[in-house]
Structures are given as structure tokens and as C-alpha cells.
């Protein structure tokens, strides 16, 4: 399932890889890969490899064009400074939210510099309140004024403290809140072929889509290399709804192999701190988990030659509307790390849902 792209210093046919003012080169795509078989998907999943499902949503995505247009408008309003709580109280959203979700508060999250606003809801069923403190939180993806990327994250309770896996009822209701505000979520959650693939892969009869994030990656934006391990889910499904994104995605053991291979070829007077760490694989593994891992970030996030190295290794993917990327996240040791860059000049919507067996 390896896909080959090439990274050039300049190219007439390709797209520039540009993230927050940093230029990595121009990416030119090889032929689009074909759809893997169910057995190839399961094998790759159990080997902790990312799985690219090209155009899998193409059959149903046209059904959600008005919802996607509405979501784009919503994103633009927030990007231009509208208050999230006020937009959610307008007729267009209030009519969707009522009667199940009642807005109970809003917070500007002063302790979180990337946060824009968090809006909190109670959930009602037949005149009975069944959950409180379900929330939708809008955040910038960076501090860069030239990066208009933002995301809407849905969860519940006290952020950073809550064991979300311990309360499947509220987790399910936070997912339902996403369906209400971004109904195009159903393009993923109800897609028959995708669900069959996921059920076979996870060996279960139903898959839950939890801890949902709706991304709007803008030109010059994206995410640094990271993972999404959280207790209670197996991995992440990312679906490109419109726009386009470039990805590097590989399991942590492979990432460490590639760091070691790259350093072995680099001049010996370069990367001295990282080289010392990498001589002890466990130390490198632990260091990557540190909140501050600047010596590694310098290599894996800001070195075009390392991007080139990973692209040549077959770890690059280009997601177009209708494409899905699956990323196993079972443990800190095996999880797929990934790095994202917006491609082209359109701010594109992507759905990132954690998957769990139900
Ligand atoms: Fe992620």
C-alpha cells in the first residue's frame, strides 16, 4: 500500500508544502492508490500501520453539500470573530439543537491561549435532564496570525481531568451534539462500506465514533507530528470532506527507525543532542513523549530533508475530498504519529473521530 510522492525545491505541477511560513518544498503526486481489500486493511491495522481508503466516501458525500456549505459559513463566522455561543443561538442552529440540547453556559477559556470559546450544553430526553456539561470548544490550531486553521472539539466534563472512557453515556451524547452541529458527520458514521471495513478490522458488530473533532485546515496551516492515544479507543478515522491535506503518518517504532536511519547518514557533527538520545532507543522513545521535545521537533517538523526521507520511505499521503485515513492508536509504544499540512488555497473541512468497539 506504499504510495510514492516526490518533494522538489520547485515544481510547476505540484503544490507547495507550507506550514506557518516554513517551506518544505513542492509535492508532486504519484498515481492515486487503489482501495485495499478488507484483509489488507485488517493486516495493516494489526501491524499498526496507517490505512488509506481512497475515495471511499465519494458515493455519499454529494448528499451533504448543503451541510458542508453551512459548516464553512459557520467556520468563517467564528474565524472573523463572532461569538460561538451567539452563532449557536441563531435560528439555524437553535432549531437543530432543540429540544435535546440546551445551551447552559460559555467560557472564553482564559487558561488556554489557543482556545477561542467553549460552549456548554445540558442534554434533555422527555423533560428529564440526562447529562450536563457536554461541550463544543473552538480553538486555533496555532498562535501564528497567518494561520487561519481552527477546530471544534466535542467532549464533556472537566477537560484534561476526565477519564472520558469511564462515562460512555455522556461520551455518546457529546458525539450526538456533533451530529447536531455538523450533520455531515453522518457521511462517516453511517457509511455502509466504511462501517463494514471497521467492524471487520476491529472484530466487532458495531463501531462507536467518539471524542470528535471537526478540523478546518487553512492554507499555511496544519499539525506538527503527534499522536492521539487516549484510553478507551482503538484509533482515529480522519475523513477529508473538502479541501486537501498532505500527511506523513507512521507508527512510533517506524518513526524511531527512520530517525536513526536519517541520523546515521547525516554528518556526524549534526544533531548532536538527538544523536546522543537516539543511541538509547528507550530514551528516545521517552523523550518523544515529553511535552517539550524540541531536539526531535527540529528534525521531524522543521527539516525538509527529513520530510524527503519519510516521503521516500512511503509514509506520505495526500487526502482529497472523500478520502479516509485510519490510524491505529492502541498504545504509546505502537501508535501512529502523524503530521498534517494544508494543500492548495482552500480551507478544507476534515472529520477526526476516535473509534471504539461497541
Ligand atoms: Fe491527530
Q: What pLDDT was estimated at residue 156?
A: 94
Q: What pLDDT was estimated at residue 4?
A: 63
Output the CA 106–ligand 1 centroid distance in Å. Answer: 26
Output the CA 338–ligand 1 centroid distance in Å. Answer: 6
Q: What pLDDT was estimated at residue 11?
A: 67
User: Closest Cα partner for 179 from 93, 260, 297, 249?
Assistant: 93
User: Closest Cα partner for 247 from 312, 341, 314, 161?
Assistant: 341
Output the CA 228–ligand 1 centroid distance in Å. Answer: 5
Which residues are paired to 166 by β-bridges? none
Mean local confidence (pLDDT), 288-317: 94
Output the CA 153–ligand 1 centroid distance in Å. Answer: 12
Output the CA 99–ligand 1 centroid distance in Å. Answer: 33
Output the CA 320–ligand 1 centroid distance in Å. Answer: 17
Query: The C-alpha cell of 303 is what?
Result: 527539516
The CA dihedral of 143, 148, 151, 157, to the nearest 10 degrees, is 40
Output the CA 309–ligand 1 centroid distance in Å. Answer: 21
Output the CA 226–ligand 1 centroid distance in Å. Answer: 6
Q: What pLDDT was estimated at residue 12?
A: 66
Mean local confidence (pLDDT), 43-55: 97
Q: What pLDDT was estimated at residue 1?
A: 43
Is 2.60.120 the CATH classification of the domain at 6-357? Answer: yes
**Global pTM value:** 0.95
Which residues are paired to 245 by β-bridges? 319, 342
| Residue 3 confidence (pLDDT) above 70 | no
Distance between CA 353 and CA 310 in Å, rounded?
25
Output the CA 329–ligand 1 centroid distance in Å. Answer: 10
Digit-coded pLDDT (tens) for 221-262: 999 999 999 888 999 999 999 999 999 999 999 999 999 999
Q: What are φ and ψ of residue 42, in 5° steps?
A: -65, -40
Distance between CA 318 and CA 344 in Å, rounded?
11
Strands 316-319 and 244-251: antiparallel
| Residue 5 confidence (pLDDT) above 60 | yes
Output the CA 278–ligand 1 centroid distance in Å. Answer: 24
User: Closest Cα partner for 180 from 134, 240, 148?
Assistant: 134
Q: Mean pLDDT for the chain?
A: 93
Output the CA 236–ligand 1 centroid distance in Å. Answer: 8
Q: What pLDDT was estimated at residue 118?
A: 97
Output the CA 227–ligand 1 centroid distance in Å. Answer: 6
At a CB cut-off of 8 Å and minimum separation 6, what does 312 contact?
A: 4
Digit-coded pLDDT (tens) for 175-223: 999 999 999 999 999 999 999 999 999 999 999 999 999 999 999 999 9
Output the CA 339–ligand 1 centroid distance in Å. Answer: 8
DSSP H helices, 107-248, are 168-181, 186-189, 192-202
Phi/psi-derived region of residue 5, left when phi > 0, alpha when psi is between -120 and 50, beta in every other case: beta
244-251: strand order across its sheet: 222-226, 336-343, 244-251, 316-319
Ion ligand 1 neighbours (CB, 5 A) are: 228
Output the CA 140–ligand 1 centroid distance in Å. Answer: 15
- How large a percentage of the chain has pLDDT more than 70? 98
Output the CA 213–ligand 1 centroid distance in Å. Answer: 10
Q: What pLDDT was estimated at residue 15?
A: 85
Handedness of CA 98, 101, 103, 109 (dihedral sign): negative
Q: What pLDDT was estimated at residue 336?
A: 97
Q: Which residue has the cell 513542492?
A: 26
Q: Hey, is 36 helix, strand or coil?
A: coil
Distance between CA 168 and CA 206 in Å, rounded?
14
Digit-coded pLDDT (tens) for 101-155: 999 999 998 888 899 999 999 999 999 999 999 999 999 999 888 899 999 999 9
Q: What pLDDT was estimated at residue 13?
A: 73
Cβ atoms 154, 136 nearer than 8 A: yes
Output the CA 267–ligand 1 centroid distance in Å. Answer: 32
Which letter, b or e, does each residue of 56-69 get, where b requires 16 or more Cβ atoms within 10 Å of its Cβ? bbeebbeebeebbe
Distance between CA 284 and CA 288 in Å, rounded?
6
Amino acid at each position: 500500500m506504499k504510495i510514492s510522492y516526490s518533494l522538489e525545491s520547485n515544481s510547476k505541477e505540484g503544490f507547495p508544502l507550507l506550514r506557518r511560513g516554513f517551506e518544505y518544498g513542492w509535492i508532486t503526486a504519484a498515481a492515486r492508490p487503489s482501495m485495499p481489500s478488507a484483509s489488507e486493511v485488517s493486516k495493516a491495522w494489526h501491524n499498526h500501520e496507517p490505512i488509506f481508503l481512497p475515495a471511499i466516501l465519494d458515493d455519499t458525500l454529494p448528499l451533504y453539500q448543503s451541510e458542508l456549505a453551512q459548516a464553512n459559513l459557520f467556520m468563517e463566522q467564528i474565524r472573523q470573530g463572532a461569538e460561538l455561543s451567539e452563532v449557536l443561538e441563531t435560528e439555524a442552529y437553535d432549531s437543530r439543537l432543540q429540544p435535546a440540547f440546551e445551551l447552559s453556559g460559555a467560557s472564553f477559556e482564559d487558561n488556554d491561549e489557543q482556545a477561542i470559546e467553549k460552549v456548554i450544553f445540558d442534554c434533555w430526553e422527555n423533560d428529564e435532564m440526562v447529562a450536563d456539561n457536554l461541550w463544543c470548544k473552538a480553538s486555533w490550531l496555532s498562535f501564528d496570525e497567518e494561520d487561519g486553521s481552527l477546530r471544534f472539539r466535542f467532549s464533556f466534563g472537566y477537560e484534561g481531568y476526565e477519564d472520558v472512557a469511564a462515562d460512555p453515556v455522556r461520551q455518546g451524547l457529546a458525539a450526538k451534539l456533533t451530529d447536531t452541529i455538523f450533520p455531515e458527520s453522518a457521511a462517516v458514521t453511517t457509511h455502509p462500506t466504511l462501517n463494514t471495513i471497521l467492524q471487520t478490522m476491529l472484530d466487532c458488530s458495531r463501531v462507536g465514533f467518539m471524542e470528535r473533532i471537526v478540523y478546518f485546515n487553512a492554507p499555511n496551516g496544519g499539525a506538527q507530528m503527534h499522536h492521539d492515544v487516549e484510553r478507551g479507543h482503538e484509533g482515529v478515522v480522519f475523513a477529508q470532506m473538502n479541501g486537501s491535506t498532505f500527511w506523513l503518518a507512521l507508527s512510533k517504532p517506524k518513526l524511531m527507525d527512520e530517525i536513526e536511519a536519517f541520523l546515521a547518514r547525516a554528518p556526524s557533527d549534526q544533531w548532536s543532542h538527538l544523536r546522543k538520545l537516539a543511541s538509547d532507543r528507550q530514551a528516545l522513545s521517552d523523550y518523544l513523549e515529553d511535552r517539550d521535545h524540541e531536539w526531535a521537533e527540529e528534525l521531524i517538523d522543521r527539516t525538509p530533508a527529513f520530510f524527503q526521507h519519510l516521503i521516500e520511505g512511503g509514509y506520505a499521503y495526500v487526502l482529497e475530498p472523500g478520502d479516509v485515513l485510519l490510524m491505529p492508536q492502541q498504545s504509546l509504544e505502537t501508535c501512529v504519529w502523524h503530521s498534517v499540512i494544508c494543500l492548495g488555497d482552500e480551507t478544507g473541512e476534515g472529520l477526526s473521530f476516535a473509534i471504539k468497539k461497541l
